[in-house]
Amino acid sequence: MTASHTTRCIWLTGATSGIGRALAVRLLDQGHRVALSARRPDALQELAGDRDNALLLPLDVSDRDAVLAAGDRIAARFGRLDLAILNAGTCEYLEAGTFDAALIERVFATNFFGALHGVEAALPLLRQARSQGGRPLLAATSSASAYLPLPRAEAYGASKAALSHFLESLRLDLAGEKIDVSLIHPGFVKTPLTDRNDFPMPMRVSVDQAAEAILKGLEAHRLDIHFPRRFTLALKLLGILPPGLRFRLGRRLARDHADTETAS
């Protein structure tokens, strides 16, 4: 989103780390009124500094009541939302040998249901912006892993695929209200979350590159904001291969991981 004379009212979750922090800094510096949400109040305060265009809303997105209360505070302060960026997310990898359904529930609580709580809180405020003549935008950070099943990504990939499917369906229902929906599908981005990964991450980009790609896509109300494009287009193509070919490809990746674990 380029700097402009139009001040937007924006809500950003997952604002204090990784992609979220890079987005928050740019949006605040551009002069927008930005509601910032993350779990740690001290990290939010450090991010906002002395900026008077930041509204700090510490919360855990898996807590529906807390998210709805944040929506009420935004309504009281801003009166509307021109843009909601539901960016909060987490990642845990599943080891099939020690299958843990609680792990999957934790990942879905943040990545899927946390985003749904944000949708529920944001929609009335987006509708208010539309009633004032705006073209509001609902956006959420999914993942390129939603395009293609990958080893150990059962929880993470499924939560992001569910989010993408849900919002693509919601997009159809909101189109008549002139509320747009953008999905963000990043490839690998260098963040504290991906720094924990124990496998190769081809074409990994910086948070600054990610933020620039996202803001450019949001400015255009692009339906699918994906990057780096060589990587994400390759995953899209692999995702439409016949199931047998997809299985053989994924099985090869799983074997490589097992070999690495044995060697260590």
Map out the domains of the chain as residue ranges: 9-263
In whole numbers, what is the pLDDT of the chain averaged over residues? 91
Q: Active-site residue 156, yes or no? A: yes
Write down the pLDDT at residue 1: 54
Task: Assign domain 9-263 one CATH number from 3.40.50.2300, 3.40.50.720, 3.40.50.2020, 1.10.3720.10.
Answer: 3.40.50.720
Count Cβ neighbours within 10 Å for each residue of 199-220 and write b for 16 or more, e otherwise.
Answer: eeeeebbebebbbbbbbebbee
pTM for this prediction: 0.88
- Per-residue pLDDT for 261 more than 80? no
Cα R_g (the chain), whole angstroms: 19
Q: What is the pLDDT of residues 197-207, one digit of tens each?
A: 777 777 788 99
Distance of CA 120 to the CA centre of its chain: 16
DSSP 164: H
Pick the closest to residue 163 from 179, 197, 190, 140 (CA basis).
140
In the block, residue with structure tokens 């016949």 = 242
Q: State phi, psi for 145 to the nearest 5 degrees.
A: -65, -15
Do residues 40 and 15 lie in contact, with contact meaning Cβ atoms separated by under 8 Å? no
pLDDT confidence of residue 190:
83
Number of C-beta neighbours around residue 92 at 10 A: 15
> Quick one: which H or E segment has residue 97?
none
| Measured distance CA(250)–CA(85) in Å, rounded | 32
Average pLDDT of 84-108?
93
Q: Give the DSSP per-residue string, 61-83.
A: TT-HHHHHHHHHHHHHHTS--SE
Among the options 156, 188, 227, 231, which is catalytic?
A: 156
Give the lowest-confidence range in 26-30, 33-37, 112-116, 203-207.
203-207
How many angstroms separate the CA atoms of 240 and 148, rounded?
Answer: 9
